[in-house]
Structure 1
Amino acid sequence: MMKANNLVKGGSFLLSEVDVSTVFTPEDCTEEHLMIANLSESFIDQEIDPYDDVLETQDFTLLVKLVKKAGELGLLGASVPEEYGGTNLDRISSTLISEKMIRCSSYSLTIAAHIGIGTLPIVLFGTKDQKQKYLPLSVSGEQIFAYCLTEPSSGSDALNAKTTAVLSEDATHYVLTGTKQFITNAAFADVFIVYAKVDGKHFSTFIVEKKFKGVSTGAEEKKMGIKGSSTRQLILEDVHVPIENVLGEVGKGHVIAFNILNLGRYSLAAGCVGSSKWAIELAVQYGCERKQFNKTLTEFPLIQKKIADMTIYTYAAESMVFRTGGLMDSARRSLNLNIEDHANQVIKGIAEYAMECSMNKVFATECLDYVADESLQIHGGYGFTQEYKIERIYRDARINRIFEGTNEINRLLIPNQLFRRAMKGELPLMEAVKKLEQELVTYIPSTPDEGVPLLQEKAILNSAKKIFLMVVGKTVKQFKQQLEEQQEIIEIIANLAIQIYAMESVMIRTKKAIDKEGIIRAKQKWNITAAFTQESFAKIQHMAKDAFVMTESGDELKMTLAMMKKLVRYNPRNLLPVKRQIAARIIDSKKYVV
């Protein structure tokens, strides 16, 4: 068991070489993990899919009934301790459940909101009495939970909430007044996790029951996608909430909100990986059946290229998600279960990888948007009709870039987390920048042998990390304390970090596969890694150049660009045959396989 002080630091991958043994990959899943995945998949196929079309019509009576059915199988208690009726599974198990559940569209969103952001606040921050009262009912599905943070006037700016809470004169309850917007599960939820400001100042969290007088919901929102789910306003009119229903400490609601959102972002990314795999499967199966000009669609090279690119992108997202899940599980295993502040240690473990959770969310949601779009394109005109499920996947996918903090907000959070940790002394960021500056004075470029598996990819990754540090160093030097105002450059820093995390996750996953199975059996992974690394590095060069132009000019800029050019020397591979091989494997299997 790893010691807490030996855990991988969040964000440290940007500053040093990563120990391959610390990276969890999908291939590391145990028999127990696979059993949970199969159980979830079977449940969806047998119990939910037959009602799929009915659920899309917002038959909430049926929806609630099927949520309870999931409870009977133990699928709602993965993150709940056993003493409260849960199964207390690890993060990877929860990831697999999220990935498999996604094939039931809006039903999966209902489940995710209930077991994730709806229930986890009580799991992580609830008192023993609160846990005993609410968690068993959550696990069984007898009560459904909802998370209420957004308001009509505050979305990303969540701390600017207008909902108020005033302590009664006898100090027995708080009176809540306000409106929450876009609340998933609102129509049938029994318990709401509500954020409000005590005396209009202290951002706090409350457990509000539907049966409390003054609780009501608005009309269903008419949405672009996720139509089968419930999305309404939650209206609170002088709602008397007992003081024992305060969750956590008064004035510390932001601690709950932000940590729950971190987990929500991670789970959302896992679901997007599942949807991307599904969209690839639908595209390939349709392409193998549909004929044009006496050929199936999958015989056309341009369609093969689309299939390959969809697979490459999805492989990267999947690698990132499982790597991050493994990190959080390692943090959890390092805890001393007997310590009094166990909950606080769990929360610290979540916060440790807040940056990685945001990177997962951004990359995976944009992966799904790309894959869904290309899958619909392969379907042609039929993809634009409701007869084919890709039309629904395409519509449903769009909300993910808005859920759990927009991708723009998450891109601002990534560098913010990085710089904050550096200022606290938790990451030697600026020390790494200074070390690189000294190294570049005498740097002699070399071109790695492209014939040795992953040698060139590793060299590219190392160069990418150097370029990242160059960008950080130049921008900090130029803008200093005003850097926060330069959102365009902050976005570039975030995108560079995301690409590097994706490249490294892909490369390590493939290295582990080659070491275990040999290059022949891992050929698909190697091809994917070669293509993804080369194309990602091209993006990194372009983004870095933009950043340098924003921070420097004249001879200084010329010197910086010349130095970057030294760092990008490699022999580019012809990706045409590589991508055709990738596509051929997918077409032969008629689904996503690596």
Structure 2
Amino acid sequence: MSDTTEQKDILRGGQFLVKETSCEDVFTPEDFNEEQKMMRESVQEFVEREIIPHKERFEKKDYELTEEVMRKAGELGFLGIAVPEEYDGLGMGFVSTMLVCDYISGATGSIATAFGAHTGIGTMPITLYGTEEQKKKYVPKLATGEWFGAYCLTEPGAGSDANSGKTKAVLSEDGKHYSISGQKMWISNAGFANVFIVFARIEDDKNITGFIVENDAENGISFGEEEKKLGIHSSSTRQVFFNETKVPVENMLAGRGEGFKIAMNALNVGRIKLAAACLDAQRQVTTNSVQYANERVQFKTPIAQFGAIKQKLAEMATSAYVGESASYRAAKNIEDRINLRLESGNSHSEAELKGVEEYAIECSILKVACSEDVQNCSDEGIQIFGGMGFSADTPMEAAWRDARISRIYEGTNEINRMLSVGMLVKKAMKGHVDLLGPAQAVGQELMGIPSFDKPDYSELFAEEKEMIKKLKKVFLMVAGSAVQKFGPQLEEHQQLLLAASDILIEVYMAESAILRTEKNAKRFGEDSQKEQIAMTQLYLYNAVDKITTKAKEGIISFAEGDELKMMLMGLKRFTKYDNFPNVVKLRTEIADKLIAENKYCF
């Protein structure tokens, strides 16, 4: 067993809620090895050379430029990071694939979308589900950028309900091929893709089936015009029409009726990669905002010196730092789980599939949190730029438009919120996460007399870690009571699920920041982490506030009488600070560091 997997206890997906994690057991960006640092520098140099100088062209729907940049990315190996070496990829670990996705995606959403669609849902289904013949035929071309891939799932009547697609696949009389007919929409990379992953239904099968379909106009494939979109202007997005398109039977992906499983597992990876794709966008928006605020003078003072601007800058940097902390924590958990499976004899495909599936809850959490943070960050960026922010001549306008799609694709944030809680409940029912015991313990605690002993908060983050424990109790109190009350009908109470998911999200994000900062403070010294400590404390304060609101909303929706009073008293107890942080001071400290460095510097 490798050093990375034998030295720590790897929690299963969702177990963060009921088990304590040591800061030594989390991976942080400060843990990147030399190979990963070199890869990050290579990607940053590529972005500065090939993307940033051409941002205006990307906003003018230059689809050929997107294809050109993608081809160059393939030549440098960036499209094959996750692909095994035997198929002309680099065969690097999951953290490295996240890192490349992170840093290649920040400058423009057009490349972020093209890259994510190609490397994720365009290539990965073949890498993970294809036969050896399929992999040898298609994956090397996709890994090197010789060919590009696209993913045809969504239809006019099948969006979030992915398994309801009407596209049909009919077997020929000689049994040698299927004829596929149907309409797919919102297909990223459609304008220059060479191969499509297409989902269709055979006869009246319950589940759809996946196929590998080569782009051939003479084989009944046609396209709609490029969609007119709010953002990601140079991301090719078109409808794809299949009219009795003949596909050899050997191009079926996995087995008949396995398409829905392929689609869902592809989306799990897509969700955490989408979170990564939001990170550098936040860093860049924050840097642009700091630099403008330092240059813009009003009332004979740079606006960066005004408290209202400092508040915005501090919150923008904090969300970026926390999103980064949580994303790489989960990425390393996935990588370690993949390695454990490889060491136990699983194939690469099995290990990767099961490794990511194990952390599907965290993938949904990260997708929601980071996509909403990048939208808020770019919105505040516009506000800092003022009237100039509304102009297409400054970078904020495009950043805001590009960010908006992130809350929709890879499953809307509403779907992902409900999925995160639903998957956790299912894991509990299967015995993979013990929610029942801790939930019952919280119920007994509510019936008891609270302790009035003053805890010892002398160590760094002692109170913050105690607060995280209490916030986990809030989720267990709300979700546990809801499950008890509604049972299998819980999924019908969507507003309650949304409220519960927000509690779950904030707990994971806040805990991730605490663990990262604590780990770095221990090894680099607290003085070196002053602003990171401030960001961590600021985020937790905001999280407590949000959890209080959402928990109250959830409790009131189903509890009444004495139960309602008891749960509201419990909520007050579990969200009470003994020592409130001075959030104005924290924001000022964070902002002053940004202003002095004139960039996002964490």
TM range (shorter): over 0.9
Per-residue CA shift, 1:152-205, capped at 9, x if unaligned? 111101100010111111111111000101000111110001111111424110
1:512 maps to 2:519: yes
Counterpart AA for 2:200: A
The correspondence of residues 552-567 of structure 1 with structure 2, limited to 5 A, is: 552-567=559-574
Distance 1:381 1:160 in 2: 45
Change (3 A) 1:508 1:32: same
Bigger mean CA offset, 276-285 vs 567-576: 567-576
Counterpart AA for 2:257: G
Shift of 1:65: 2.6
Change (3 A) 1:445 1:427: farther
Q: Is the 8 A contact 1:4 1:334 kept in 2?
A: no
Shift of 1:438: 2.8
Match 2:153 to one of 132, 149, 152: 149
Counterpart AA for 1:465: K
Match 2:431 to one of 416, 425, 436: 425
Shift of 1:472: 1.6
Q: Is the 8 A contact 2:147 2:194 kept in 1?
A: yes
1:463 maps to 2:470: yes
Match of 1:368 in 2: 374
- SS of corresponding position for 1:17: coil
Counterpart AA for 1:185: N
Per-residue CA shift, 1:225-277, capped at 9, x if unaligned? 00111100010000000011111111011111011101111111101111111
1:122 maps to 2:126: yes
Counterpart AA for 2:364: S
Give the alignment's TM-score, normalised by structure 2.
0.96
The correspondence of residues 52-67 of structure 1 with structure 2, limited to 5 A, is: 52-67=55-70
Counterpart AA for 2:201: K
Match 1:579 to one of 587, 593, 596: 587
Shift of 1:304: 0.5
Match 1:96 to one of 99, 102, 106: 99
1:529 maps to 2:510: no
1:34 maps to 2:40: no
Match of 2:444 in 1: 438
Match of 2:601 in 1: 593
- SS of corresponding position for 2:187: strand
Match of 2:303 in 1: 297
Q: Is the 8 A contact 1:150 1:182 kept in 2?
A: yes
* Consecutive unaligned residues in structure 1, runs of 5 or more: none
Shift of 1:63: 2.9
Q: Is the 8 A contact 1:172 1:242 kept in 2?
A: yes
Q: Is the 8 A contact 2:338 2:354 kept in 1?
A: no
1:131 maps to 2:135: yes
Match of 1:112 in 2: 116
Shift of 1:337: 5.6
Q: How many percent of aligned residue pairs carry the same amino acid?
A: 39
- SS of corresponding position for 1:488: helix
Match of 1:193 in 2: 197
Counterpart AA for 1:203: I
Distance 2:226 2:564 in 1: 55
Q: Is the 8 A contact 1:453 1:526 kept in 2?
A: no
Counterpart AA for 2:468: L
Distance 2:397 2:524 in 1: 38
Distance 1:114 1:567 in 2: 45
Match 1:205 to one of 210, 214, 229: 210
Q: Is the 8 A contact 2:232 2:401 kept in 1?
A: yes
Distance 2:181 2:204 in 1: 11
Distance 2:502 2:159 in 1: 23
* Consecutive unaligned residues in structure 2, runs of 5 or more: none
Counterpart AA for 1:572: F
Shift of 1:592: 1.3
1:163 maps to 2:171: no
1:243 maps to 2:260: no
Shift of 1:66: 2.4
Match 2:177 to one of 145, 155, 173: 173
Distance 1:61 1:543 in 2: 46
Shift of 1:6: 5.4
Distance 1:446 1:540 in 2: 25
Bigger mean CA offset, 459-468 vs 12-21: 12-21
Give the alignment's TM-score, normalised by structure 1.
0.97
Counterpart AA for 1:468: F
Distance 2:318 2:492 in 1: 35
Match of 2:13 in 1: 10
Distance 1:345 1:314 in 2: 30
The correspondence of residues 475-494 of structure 1 with structure 2, limited to 5 A, is: 475-494=482-501
* Alignment size in residue pairs: 594
Counterpart AA for 2:591: A
Match of 2:264 in 1: 258
Distance 1:555 1:339 in 2: 54
Counterpart AA for 2:601: V
Match of 2:53 in 1: 50
- SS of corresponding position for 1:508: helix
The correspondence of residues 256-295 of structure 1 with structure 2, limited to 5 A, is: 256-295=262-301
- SS of corresponding position for 2:80: coil
Counterpart AA for 2:484: K
1:331 maps to 2:337: yes
